[in-house]
């Protein structure tokens, strides 16, 4: 997949508009490849930054959404599917692009090329407002966490150890 084949922040804006989702793409002057960079760019605590991470479970893509700096516990996903932890692996950049249409590091929680199983960490719902991947390295999506549940069916699980 070439960079011109990737979905963009404009595609995410269109998706939000077409699905009447109360979410706004915020374009930034700096790239936001990490939770810390994103929090600094918008001036919020790291817990208000939502990361969408693509995993492959026995080769099938699933999205895990958490907030803050805590790592995602792959065992929780493995237990859900009743497979060993080694059957759950982080997708590589080209796999993220192929399965979602978006570049790794800019992955939004929804608006992907195809419907994907989506796990949402329960702690995300504690926040009033969050910022998620906005479809490009210089964009974030500002929304209430409930909008994610509106946009896609989610499986609520405790995905982090905190």
DSSP assignment string, 31-45: ---SHHHHHHHHT--
Residue 4 has pLDDT above 80, yes or no: no
Distance CA 73, CA 119 (A): 12
At 52 the pLDDT is: 97
How far apart, in whole angstroms, are the C-alpha atoms of residue 89 and residue 41?
Answer: 29
Task: Say which CATH architecture domain 3-157 belongs to.
Answer: Alpha-Beta Complex (3.90)
Q: Tell me, what's the pLDDT at 76? A: 97
Reported as a single tens digit per residue, the pLDDT across 76-92 is 999 999 999 999 999 99
Q: Minimal CA–CA distance to 67: which of 107, 1, 125?
A: 125
Residue boundaries of the structural domains of the chain: 3-157
38-64 pLDDT, tens digit per residue, is: 999 999 999 999 999 999 999 999 999
pLDDT over 80 (residue 161):
no
pTM over 0.85: yes
CA distance 134 to 65: 14
Q: Which residues contact 38 (CB under 8 A, 6 or more apart)?
A: 32, 49, 131, 140
Torsion of CA 34, 36, 37, 42, to 10 degrees: 120
pLDDT reading at 3 higher than 90: no
In this prediction, residue 21 carries a pLDDT of 98
Taking 70 as the threshold, does the pLDDT of residue 120 lie above it? yes
């Amino acid at each position: 997949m070439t960079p011109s084949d990737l979905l963009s922040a404009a595609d995410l804006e269109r998706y939000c508009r077409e699905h009447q989702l109360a979410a706004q793409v915020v374009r930034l002057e700096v790239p936001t490849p990490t939770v810390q960079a994103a929090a600094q760019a918008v001036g919020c605590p790291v817990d208000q930054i939502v990361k969408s991470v693509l995993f492959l479970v026995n080769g099938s893509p699933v999205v895990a959404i958490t907030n803050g700096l805590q790592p995602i516990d792959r065992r929780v996903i493995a237990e859900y599917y009743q497979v060993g932890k080694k059957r759950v692996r982080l997708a590589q950049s080209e796999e993220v692009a192929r399965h979602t249409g978006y570049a790794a590091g800019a992955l939004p929680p929804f608006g992907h090329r195809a419907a994907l199983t989506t796990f949402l960490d329960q702690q995300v719902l504690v926040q009033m407002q969050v910022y998620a991947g906005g479809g490009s390295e210089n964009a974030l999506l500002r929304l209430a966490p409930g909008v994610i549940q509106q946009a896609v069916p989610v499986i609520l699980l405790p995905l982090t150890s905190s």
